[in-house]
Amino acid sequence: MAESRPSPPLPREAGFFLLATAALGLAPFVPYLPWSLSLLAALLLLWRGVLVWRDAPPPARFTLLLAAALGIVLTVASYHTIFGKQAGLSLLSMLLPLKLLEARTRRDGRAALLLCCFLLTGQFLNAQSMAVAAFVLLCATAIVATSAKLEQPGQAPRGALRTALRLLGGAVPLMLLLFVLFPRINGPLWGMPLDAYAGSTGLSDSMRPGSISELIQSGEIAFRVEFEGTPPAPAQRYWRGPVLSEFDGQEWKVRESMLRRAPTYTVAGPAYRYSLTLEPHNRGWLLALDYPDSGAADALYGDDLVLLARRPVRNRVRYNLTSFPETPVGLQERENVLKAALRLPPASNPRTSALGAGLQAGNAEPAARVEAALRFMREARLAYTLSPPLLGQHPADEFLFDTKRGFCEHFAGSFVVLMRAAGVPARVVTGYQGGEFNPVDGTLVVRQSDAHAWAEVWLAGRGWQRVDPTAASFPRRIDEGIARALPEGEAMPIMLRQNFEFLRSLRYRWEAISNGWNQWVLGYNAQRQLDLMRSLGLPDADWRQLAGLLAACASAWLLWLGLRLWPRHARLDALDRCWRRLCRKLARQGVRHQPWEAPGDFARRAAAALPQHADTIIAIAEHYATLRYGPGVEKPATQLAALRAAVQQFRP
C-alpha cells in the first residue's frame, strides 16, 4: 500500500495572508470578549506574526498546551463554564491563533481557514445586522483569497483577490436561489444555549426607583411601527408593556395574571391599524397600543390588559394589530384584582400613607381624590430629571417630601402608593410613550429612550383609567418628547439632543436602510415566502414544490456556469501530448508543473528535485521549447519522433 505524501511546507507569504485573515475574523468578537481573553488572542497573533517574520519554527507542543490551558482558565473565570454561547465563542477565538502558532504545512493552513469559517457563523450569534453581513462577506473574500494564495504560492496578491472575487461572484446567484426558495420553517433550525439571549435589553418585570432612567440612556430601537392611515396623536401613543401590581415597599413587580385567547373587553371608539416590528427582548410581552382587538395572531391576552407571546421574544417578530384606545376596560373587575390593587406593605412610606388618608377623608368621590393627588404633585414643584438621587427605605416619602427630584418611575410609583393609601385601586404600567417618525420611510421608531411608566386607577362605572402623573406635572414630556421636558443644562444622551441635525439626518437614512434589511432579509419568513410564490403563480406551494423548484433552478445555473468555465483550449497536438506525458511522470515523483511555469523554469526545479535525472529532464525541456517556441521552426516528423522517444524512455 503506497504511503500518503506529506503536505508541503507552508509558504512564508501565505503565512502573512493567514495572519491577516485570522485577525480580520477575530476583530468583531473583541467587543463581546472579556479584556483578558482579547489580550491573550492579540498576544498569540502577535507571537505568530513574529515567527512568520523571522521565518522561525513553531513553538514546542508543551508551550502550546500551556497557552490553551490559560485560555480555558480565563474562559471559566469569566463565564464560570465552558458551555454556552459566549464561552463557546471565546474558546473558538482561542483555537484560531493557537492553530496558527502550530501551523507548519499547507494542511495546517487549510485547517486554520476552516476555523475562520466557523468564526464567520459565530458572528451572527451576536448580531444579524446589515453591517455584520457586509463584514462577513469581507471575511469570506479574505478566506477565499488566502486559500488561493495557499494553493498557488507564486500567485500575486492581486491575482489571489481576483480569483476570490470571481469564485464568490459565481456563488452569488446560487446563494440568492437558496435564500428565496429554500423552504422556510416557523422556528429555528437548531436550539440555542441558555445564555444566547443574555444581552437583550428592554423593560423588566420589576421596577425600582432609577431603573427606567437607566434604560433611557440607551438609543437602541425597541420596535418600529407602520400605521395604515392617520396615526394617533402623541397623547395616545402609550405602548403598553408589563403591569406591576405587587409592591414590597421599594420594588414593584408583575402579578401573575390569567391568560386568554381573546380579550375580555368589547372594543369601541376610533381604530388604529398598524404593523409592529418588535426587537428581541427575551421576555414574554408584546408591545401594543391600548387596547388591541382579538386579531393578534398567536398571542394571549392577560387580565391586566397586557398582550403576551406564547414564548419569549428571542427573535425579531412582526405582527399586525388594530387598537381602540377609547375602549372601556375593567368595568366588571374581579374582587381579588381590586384588593391586590389596594395592598400596601405595613409601616411603609408613612408620610405618603398619611397624605392618602387625608385625601380620602376630604374627598368622598374617588375621582376627586385622583384630582387632589395630581394637584398636590403639581404644587409640590417636583423636578423631572435623568439623574435622580438614590432613595432609601421609604422611596415615595423621600421623593414627594425630601428630594423632589425623579424620573417617570418616581412619579408613577409614588402616585400609585398615594392612591392606594387614599382607598383608590391603582397599579403601575410600564412601556413606551411617543416615538419619532422617520421621514425617509415613514415608520414610527420607538427607542429604549422612550421607556416610560404611568399609573392606572380603577373607578366604579368607568373601569381602569390611565393617569400619567409625569405628564400632569410636565405636559411637554408627552407633546414634545423627553428632551423638551428636561430642565436646562440637564446632561442628556446624544440620541436625545436636538442640536445635531446633520447626525439625525444620517441616522434617519441608516435606520431606513436597516429597516428594509430587517423586513425583507431577516424578516423573510414562511408567510412572506408563500406570498412570493403566489405572485409567481404557485398558490399552494409546499416544501416539496419549493425543493423541486430550487433543485431545478440550481441545476440550470450550475450547468450554465460549467459550460462557461469549460476549457476552450485548442485540441492538443502531438507536441503538447509529449510534454503533458513528461509532466505526468514527474508529478508521480512529487514534482508538479504549475500552470504559470515556463518549460525551462519547471525543468530546473525538477532537476533540482531529481538530480540523478537532471541532464535528461533539461534536455527534453530544451527540445520541447525549441520545437514549440523557436522562430520559424518547422516540426518535421523526425524531430517529433525523437522527442516522443526521449519522453518514452525517461523512467524516473
Q: What is the pLDDT of residues 536-578, one digit of tens each?
A: 777 777 777 888 888 888 888 888 877 776 655 444 578 888 8
Query: Which band of pLDDT confidence, cut at 50, 70 and 90, is reported for residue 479?
Result: low
For residue 591, is pLDDT > 90? Answer: no
Pairing between strand 383-384 and 405-406? parallel
Of 408, 410, 450, 578, catalytic: 408
Query: Which band of pLDDT confidence, cut at 50, 70 and 90, is reported for residue 3?
Result: very low
User: What distance in Å separates the CA atoms of residue 616 and residue 456, rounded to the nearest whole number?
Assistant: 99
Instruction: Return the closest-CA partner of residue 125 out of 31, 197, 38.
Output: 197
As a whole number, mean pLDDT of residues 68-85 equals: 85
User: What distance in Å separates the CA atoms of residue 595 and residue 590, rounded to the nearest whole number?
Assistant: 16
User: What distance in Å separates the CA atoms of residue 517 and residue 130, rounded to the nearest whole number?
Assistant: 7
Of 394, 450, 468, 613, catalytic: 468
Dihedral, CA atoms, 249, 253, 259, 261, nearest 10 degrees?
A: 130
Query: Which band of pLDDT confidence, cut at 50, 70 and 90, is reported for residue 601?
Result: confident
User: What distance in Å separates the CA atoms of residue 415 and residue 412, rounded to the nearest whole number?
Assistant: 5
Q: For 97-131, write each residue's pLDDT tens digit.
A: 888 888 888 888 888 888 888 888 888 877 778 88
User: In the prediction, which pLDDT does 547 show?
Assistant: 81
Distances (CA, A) of 360 to 351, 367, 419: 14, 11, 9
Is the whole-model pTM more than 0.75?
no
| Of residues 535 and 345, more confidently modeled | 345
User: In the prediction, which pLDDT does 201 show?
Assistant: 57
Pairing between strand 259-260 and 206-207? unpaired
User: In the prediction, which pLDDT does 1 show?
Assistant: 37
- 468 catalytic? Reply is yes
| Of residues 372 and 218, more confidently modeled | 372
| Of residues 493 and 526, more confidently modeled | 526
Q: What share of the chain is helix, strand, coil (3-state, %, to 5)?
A: 50, 15, 35
Find cell 492581486 and name the residue.
Answer: 158
User: What distance in Å separates the CA atoms of residue 45 and residue 19, rounded to the nearest whole number?
Assistant: 7
End-to-end CA distance of the chain: 20
pLDDT mean across residues, the chain:
83
- 441 catalytic? Reply is no
Amino acid sitting at position 514? S
As a whole number, mean pLDDT of residues 579-591 equals: 88
- 452 catalytic? Reply is yes
Q: For 247-295, write each residue's pLDDT tens digit.
A: 988 889 998 888 888 888 999 999 999 999 998 888 888 999 999 998 7
**Least reliable range by pLDDT among 137-151, 258-272, 502-516:** 502-516
Of 281, 394, 410, 452, catalytic: 452
Q: For 316-373, write each residue's pLDDT tens digit.
A: 888 899 999 999 999 988 999 999 999 999 888 999 999 999 999 999 999 999 999 9
As a whole number, mean pLDDT of residues 417-443 equals: 91
Amino acid sitting at position 116? C
User: What distance in Å separates the CA atoms of residue 580 and residue 574, rounded to the nearest whole number?
Assistant: 10
Quick one: what percent of the chain has pLDDT higher than 70? 89
